[in-house]
């Protein structure tokens, strides 16, 4: 039986060392790969970041069944909170409400002027970003920075605000993560010892590789989407998730078509 309140942690961000994106930064005029995601370098020269930003911004991919599995948890009032290191916005695109999300490394959904702190939506930045331009504030001409967490910046206050959720969770689901970056990596240890933890991942990660598994832990290694589908099948949710995915993808396709026509 699935318990009534859940905590969920997801895979690591696009800017992590070792990812395909990170390993292909040599084409940009930067002193070393990490610089493109460092706040000090961005403040000095934002152009390389915005040359790359077109690849990072939402819209290139659609949510998969793992995202819609979490959406279904929310619809069934089983989702307490979803923690994610992703900055691609796929969780929001899948229909998981912002109040249920803790985007530990920030989000591209919103942006802030680095000078006057005026806030902007992704839609307001889209045209400049798609043309690889540095977006400027219409009020003060300051650089508009997406609300993602650069190296050298603090995690969002929301990350610390909702840590109180973990001791009250009935189940922890960990999907596709390296659990290497702190303090995110320690979340898996913050649920009560008696709480089951379900790890669906390519490999054993984090404290699972250092400490013995807890008696209630469940590990499913291999393809993450395949693991989520097997979990959904055990719950009798596959048809619901498939219908949700089909319906939402059709909706996203219509929106993209309408957006293309308007431009």
Catalytic residues: 105
Task: Count how many Cα atoms sit within 13 Å of the Cα of residue 259 in the half-sphere of its side chain.
Answer: 10
In sequence order, the 6+-apart residues with CB closer than 8 A to the CB of 108 are: 56, 57, 58, 87, 88, 89, 122, 146, 147, 148
Helix (H, G, I), strand (E, B) or coil at 238: helix
CA 128 to chain centre: 23
DSSP states along 24-87: TGGGS--SSGGGGGBHHHHHH--HHHHHHHHHHSTTSS---HHHHHHHHHHHTT-EEEEEE---
**The tokens of 96 are what?**
């998981």
């Amino acid at each position: 039986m699935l318990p009534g309140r859940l905590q969920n942690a997801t895979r690591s961000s696009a800017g992590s060392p070792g990812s395909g994106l990170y390993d292909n930064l040599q084409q940009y005029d930067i002193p070393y790969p990490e610089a493109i995601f460092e706040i000090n370098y961005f403040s000095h020269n934002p152009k390389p970041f915005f040359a790359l930003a077109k690849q990072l911004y939402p819209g290139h991919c659609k949510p998969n069944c793992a995202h819609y599995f979490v959406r279904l948890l929310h619809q069934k009032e089983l989702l307490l909170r979803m923690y994610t290191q992703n900055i691609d916005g796929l969780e929001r695109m899948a229909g998981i409400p912002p109040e249920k999300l803790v985007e530990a490394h920030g989000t591209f959904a919103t942006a802030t002027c680095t000078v006057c702190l005026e806030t902007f939506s992704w839609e307001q930045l889209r045209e400049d970003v798609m043309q690889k331009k540095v977006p400027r504030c219409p009020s003060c001409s300051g650089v508009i920075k997406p609300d993602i967490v650069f190296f050298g910046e603090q995690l969002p206050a929301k990350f610390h605000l909702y840590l109180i959720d973990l001791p009250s969770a009935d189940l922890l689901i960990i999907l596709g993560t390296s659990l290497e970056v702190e303090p995110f990596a320690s979340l898996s240890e913050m649920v009560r010892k008696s709480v089951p933890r379900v790890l669906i991942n390519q490999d054993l990660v984090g404290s699972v590789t250092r400490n013995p598994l807890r008696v209630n832990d469940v590990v499913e290694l291999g393809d993450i989407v395949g693991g989520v589908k097997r979990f959904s099948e055990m719950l009798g949710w596959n048809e619901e998730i498939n219908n949700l995915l089909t319906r939402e993808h059709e909706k996203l396709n219509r929106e993209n078509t309408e957006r293309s026509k308007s431009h």
